[in-house]
Structure 1
Amino acid sequence: MLTFTQKKPPSPNAAVISTLSLTAEERTRSRHHWQMEDGQAVLLRLPRGTVLRDGDILVDETTGSLVRITAKPEPVLTVVAKNTIDLLKAAYHLGNRHVAVEITPSYLRLSPDPILQAMLEQMGVEIKEEISPFQPEVGAYGHHHSH
């Protein structure tokens, strides 16, 4: 079993042996057993509070083997608006509810939630239900929580 105790930033030229696809919530677990796509068991033993991002590289403590993290496609709500101010208002209201949100210049993305979906629909923004990689912002103090 590989044991990953160190994270490195994304590097397209890293000599990785495999990938580990995880959802946004799974990427917040710093201590957990996983199974890679090739079936090999791995243990994450990263510093508490570590949040993995798409492309991050994990280093095995014994062999030095490298594994790349990929953001696993998952159910999401993608929010688009006719103008920037409506998208900003939606982001503000989601932030007031401490919701994990992916923020880009053209859309917001969050985990499915019927109450939040209804709130956003009342605001007049468009919501699409999709299966997509989810990259929520980490909190102001480097932590991500999902509710």
Structure 2
Amino acid sequence: MLTLTRRVPPNPSLEVDFLLALSAEERTHSRLRIEAPEGQVVLLALPRGTVLQDGDLLESEAEGETRGSYRVRVAAKPEPVMTVHAATPLDLLRAAYHLGNRHVPLEITPTYLRFSADAVLKALVEQLGLQVQEASLPFYPEMGAYGHGH
């Protein structure tokens, strides 16, 4: 088992041992046990409140490991999402208001909103007259006012 205990400063040229693809929800957990694509069990043991971003570098402690520390780059894993497009900024703002009223983790951009796939929320947005597209994409929800995913 590989235990990742610290975030290291960003460095795109730094070599890593592997990519660890995590969903938006998984990136909000400072304690997590997950299986890497290579079959290796990875344990996140990060400081409480750590929220990982796409591209973050994590490192393991060297003590007790046969080859020293491991470096892993976090990648946003594609997941089922729904993307909302609107004819006007006001329509998009209205959809954001209604989704926010339901405390839905929401990715907000000037041209679209994105949320985790959910049939009830899709129906709500369509009732507002907006288009919804389903896809499997990386999801980057807005961080809450207190630093959490929602």
TM-score (norm 2): 0.89
Deviations 1:75-113, CA, capped at 9 Å, x for gaps? 101111112111111112211211100111111110112
2:101 is the alignment partner of 1:123: no
The answer to whether 1:110 aligns with 2:115 is: yes
SS of 1:16's equivalent? coil
Which residue, out of 128, 139, 143, partners 2:144?
139
Structure 2 portions without partners, runs of 5+: 63-67
Structure 1 letter corresponding to 2:91: D
Deviation at 1:46, TM superposition (A): 0.8
Deviation >2 Å, runs of 4+: 8-11
- Counterpart position of 2:17: 17
Query: C-alpha separation between the residues in 2 aligned to 1:132 and 1:108?
Result: 13
Check whether the contact 1:80–1:126 (CA below 8 A) recurs between aligned residues.
yes
The CA deviation string for residues 25-79 of structure 1, in whole angstroms up to 9 with x for no partner, is: 1112211211222222211001122211111111112233210011111110111
TM-score, with normalisation over the residues of structure 1?
Answer: 0.91
Secondary structure of the equivalent of 2:17? Answer: strand
For structure 1, list consecutive stretches of 5 or more residues without a partner in the other structure. Answer: none
Structure 1 distance, partners of 2:8, 2:92, is 33
Deviation sequence 1:95-145 (CA, Å, 0-9, x none): 121110011111111011222111111111110011111111111110124
% same residue:
57
Matches of 2:45 and 2:23, distance apart in 1: 18
Q: What's 2:84 paired with? A: 79
Aligned residues: 145
